[in-house]
Amino acid sequence: MTPRAVCTIDLDALTHNFGEVQRLVGPDVRVCAVVKANAYGHGAVPAARALLRAGAHALAVTNIDEAREVRGAGIGGPILVLSGVEPAHANEAVRLGLVPVVWDAAHLRGLAGEIAAGSRLPVHLKFDTGMRRLGADDAPGLAAVARELQVPVEGVFSHLACADEPGHTSVTQQLRAFEDAVEAVEATGLRPGIQHLANSAGILADPRTHLDMVRPGLLLYGCLPPPWVGELDLKPVMELKTRILHVKTVPAGSKVGYGWTYETTRESRLAVLPVGYGQGYPRALSNRAEVSLRGGRAPVVGTISMDHTTIDVTEIEGARLGDEVTLWGGTHGPDVMDLATRAGTIGYELLTRIPRDAPRIYKGKNE
């Protein structure tokens, strides 16, 4: 069965981007490479291998299911489990060599109570410094429980809420709140280990947030938020491509697609692509996006449907059935961050909504 869309993943570009992040934060700052959500749609296992080879200190995943996938491929290195591990899976976490995140004293007690005698499960304690999502409100209280239970605390951290808004006062506020939490933890007699705060946006927003370790995700995959364009020499890692399914010529005044949201102003050649929002190309790009083919750009016209997208190829000389079309990425394709802005969303969403069963072709010497 011919695939509707194919992702080409450039692992050399991924390695290059890692190097750019490491250069920015300096050699003394560790990099925990985030490979959650199937490495932002790029494929967790190949991305994890390439990033560890590039020098990543650790990997970060969301849950134990994602960790199982990475470990099942024979990949070593520390794995930080950002959404924690249920006590029922504590011994599996020990066996897999995972480092769960903990933000709740009762949960920490549950983990400690399940770990087999003689086993060791290091954790990172997460403090709420203003995100109001996951994180302990009582940092010294959580640290005291960890000391009481003799749970090894490998690190402490928090997460920035508004670092992607340049100059936002919350970054300084959260940094101070984190420093206060660490000081309170140290007062309990617990040495907090690795301290980390910055995600991709934090890395760019304020070097004071780099601390002992940073947790880049989006930057590694070649996506740079608009305020920081030019700050790093990043390369797109994913190129999403499809092929023309059908071409037809229609007269001026033809209405196109569901809801007739587009009308041709001249005789036009329209091409149909076998991808739509069912394959991760968002409906919100209807009449707002362009694709790349034959060295030119063709606009998306009409409403994107579940399985099809129509483009106007009138200005693309020789466009025909089977031509390769780049939806985003690569050397000449549209930038995924720009498309996300046009769709009223963020690059993270576009990358992660590509179905796992979409073929991914890996290239580069790190393949």
pLDDT digits (tens, 9 = 90+) for 321-340: 999 999 999 988 999 999 99
Distance CA 283, CA 275 (A): 11
Fold of 238-334: Lyase, Ornithine Decarboxylase; Chain A, domain 1 (2.40.37)
Please report the pLDDT score of residue 367 as a whole number: 59
Q: Determine what percent of the chain is predicted with pLDDT higher than 70.
A: 98
Say whether 238-334 and 10-221 share the same fold: no
Was domain 10-221 assigned CATH 3.20.20.10?
yes
pLDDT, one tens digit per residue, over 23-69 is 999 999 999 999 999 999 999 999 999 999 999 999 999 999 999 99
Instruction: Say if residue 1's pLDDT is above 60.
Output: no
Residue 197 has pLDDT above 60, yes or no: yes
Give 35's DSSP letter. -
pLDDT at 166: 82
* Span 218-234, average pLDDT: 82
Q: Is 233 exposed, middle or buried (0-12, 13-18, 19+ CB in 10 A)?
A: exposed
Please check whether residue 329 is in contact with residue 307, taking contact to mean a CB–CB distance below 8 angstroms.
no
Task: Write the pLDDT tens digit of every residue in 307-323.
Answer: 999 999 999 999 999 99
- d(CA 175, CA 158) in angstroms, rounded, equals 9
pLDDT for res 167: 85
**Helices vs. strands in the chain: H and E counts, helices first:** 11, 19
Cα dihedral: 200, 97, 122, 182 (round 10): -10
Residues labelled as active-site residues: 36, 258
d(CA 342, CA 335): 11
User: What pLDDT digit, counting tens, does each position of 144-179 carry?
Assistant: 999 999 999 999 999 999 998 888 999 999 999 999
pLDDT value, residue 117: 87
pLDDT above 60 for 251: yes
CB-count burial class (<10 Å; 0-12, 13-18, 19+) for 113: exposed
Distance CA 42, CA 64 (A): 19
Q: How high is the pLDDT of residue 322?
A: 95
In this predicted structure, what is the pLDDT of residue 126?
98
Question: 269-278 pLDDT, tens per residue?
Answer: 999 999 999 9
pLDDT (0 to 100) of residue 226: 66
Domain map (residue ranges) of the chain: 10-221, 238-334
Residue 156: CB partners within 8 Å, gap ≥ 6? 124, 125, 126, 127, 139, 181, 182, 185, 192, 193, 194, 195
Q: C-alpha 160: how far from its chain's center?
A: 16
**pLDDT, tens digit, 9 for 90 and up, residues 255-268:** 999 999 999 999 99
- Flag whether pLDDT at 228 surpasses 70: no
**Distance in angstroms (rounded) separating the CA atoms of residues 247 and 92:** 54
Mean pLDDT of 184-202: 94
44-54 and 11-25 helices, crossing angle to 10° = 50
From 87, 82, 86, select the one nearest 66 (Cα to Cα): 82
